[in-house]
Amino acid sequence: MSARESGVVSGPESGGEAVVSGPQRSAAAGGWLARRDATAKLLAAFLVTAALMTSLEPVVALTVIGALLAALPLTGIAPAVLWRRGWPLLASAAGVFAFAVLFGERHSPVLAHVAGLDIRRDAVGYALRLLAVALPGIVVFATIDPTDLADSLVAHLRVSPRFAIGALAALRLAPLLAEEYRLIRLARRARGTRAGPFSTLFGLLVAAIRRGIRLATAMEARGFDRAGPRTIARETRFGWPDGLVVVAGVAIAITVIVLKFAYA
């Protein structure tokens, strides 16, 4: 997956300077938002999401969806990427809407009457809110690079480096495990049996644990479990553009609350 997402990576090269600096944040999607600190992005998305949870009013959800779509160019996410990641969301919202109209509760006000069915406010509100809540998450995570995330969590949220880097290292095995999963399924066919899902999952778990142990051994051999402070080779700055992201999140959250009371 890292191969799929890797694009141009920014960062000053050394080139004869007296002080050799390391790479700054990588730019997973190449946009302004991609270069912002991961914790800032998480915080902003979390604030917006939490605010949205307090209201079922369709207008509120629509506002947020509209604002995010309008700001899409700023995030550097191509609409195609958004579709690829988000289409299950639309399908799910449609499913929720259908269930609510056909079987759901019956006490919110009716907004419209279509083809003999009552379209109630809650049905619309639930479907739209589902989209509005998930959208910031998609946007944020499409622009977060795992290495940057680990660095940011360690630097700003005091997450234990052993756990963050350990998880990051395990993540590197994901494409390998995907390939092993494919081979395990093919191997079942070669044996003359159909691949039961549990059998394949079991084979994958064994392969995954084996690889994990080898990786852990290699990390230990490089001093990973040494007691004592650990430096981070990459810089993780939190500058005013990152603060801007948090402020934007706060602003949207406040707008949501205000709108909620305006329409109550």
Partner 1 sequence: MGSVEFRGFGWRHAGRKAWAVRGFDLRIEHGERVLLQGASGAGKSTLLAALAGLLAEDSGEQEGEVLVDGRPAREARAGTAMVFQDPQTQLVMRRAGDDVAFGLENRGVPRAEIWPAVDAALAAVGFPYGRDRDTAALSGGEQQRLAIAGAIALRPGLLLLDEPTANLDPEGARLVRTAVAKALLDLDATMVLVEHRVEEALALVDRAVVIGEHPDAVWAPGAALPARKAAAAPGGPLLRAQGLVLPHTGAVVDEEVLAGQALAVEGPNGAGKTTLALLLGGLTRPAGGRVAATAELAGRDAARPPHRWRAARLAGRIGSVFQNPEHQFVTGTVREELALGGASPAAVDELLARLYLDKLALANPFTLSGGEQRRLSVATALAAAPRVLVLDEPTFGQDLRTWRELVTLLADLRDEGRALVLVTHDPQLVDSIGDRRLELTR
Partner 2 sequence: MQTRWRTVDIVVAAVIAVAFAAVFYAWNNLWEALNGFALPWRAAIYGVWLIPAVLGPLVVRKPGAGLFVELVAAVISAVMGSAWGLSVLVSGLVQGMGGEFGFAATGYRRFGLVNAVIGGALAGTGAALMDLGVLPYLPPMTTGQRWTYAILVIVSSAVIAGAGSWALQRALSRTGVLDRFPSGRERVAV
Span from 68-76, 174-182, 185-193, 240-248 in contact with partner 2 (CB under 8 A): 174-182
Residue range at the interface with partner 1 (CB under 8 A); choices 4-12, 57-65, 82-90, 136-144: 4-12
Q: Per-residue string for binding with partner 2, 201-220, x by CB under 8 A?
A: xx-xxx-xxxxxx-xxx-xx
* Of residues 141 and 238, the one with the C-beta less far from partner 2: 141
Interactions with partner 1, residue window 233-252 (CB under 8 A): 233-235
Q: Please list, in sequence order, all residues whose beta carbon lies within 8 angstroms of the beta carbon of residue 118, skipping any fewer than 6 positions away.
A: 101, 106, 110
Considering beta carbons, is residue 25 or 129 the nearer one to partner 2? Answer: 129
SS (H, E, C) the chain: CHHHHCCCCCCCCCCCCCCCCCCCCCCCCCCCHHHCCHHHHHHHHHHHHHHHCCCCCHHHHHHHHHHHHHCHHHHCCCHHHHHHHHHHHHHHHHHHHHHHHHHCCCCCCEEEEECCEEEEHHHHHHHHHHHHHHHHHHHHHHCCCHHHHHHHHHHHCCCCHHHHHHHHHHHCCHHHHHHHHHHHHHHHHHHCCCCCHHHHHHHHHHHHHHHHHHHHHHHHHCCCCCCCCCCCCCCCCCCHHHHHHHHHHHHHHHHHHHHHHHHC
Site membership for partner 2, residue 1 (CB under 8 A): yes
7 near partner 2, judged by CB under 8 A = no
- Site for partner 2 contains 155 (CB under 8 A): no
Q: Of 131-139, 188-196, 228-236, 243-251, which segment contacts partner 2 by CB under 8 A?
A: 131-139
The nearer residue to partner 1, 109 or 229, going by C-beta atoms, is 229
Nearest to partner 1 of 106, 222 (CB atom): 222
Residue closer to partner 1 (CB basis): 46 or 224:
224
According to the binding rule CB under 8 A, does residue 243 interact with partner 2? Answer: no
Which residues sit at the interface with partner 1, rule CB under 8 A?
A: 2-3, 6, 9, 11, 13-14, 19-23, 26, 145-147, 165, 168-169, 172-173, 175-176, 180, 183-184, 186-194, 199, 203, 206-207, 210-211, 214-215, 217-224, 226, 228-235
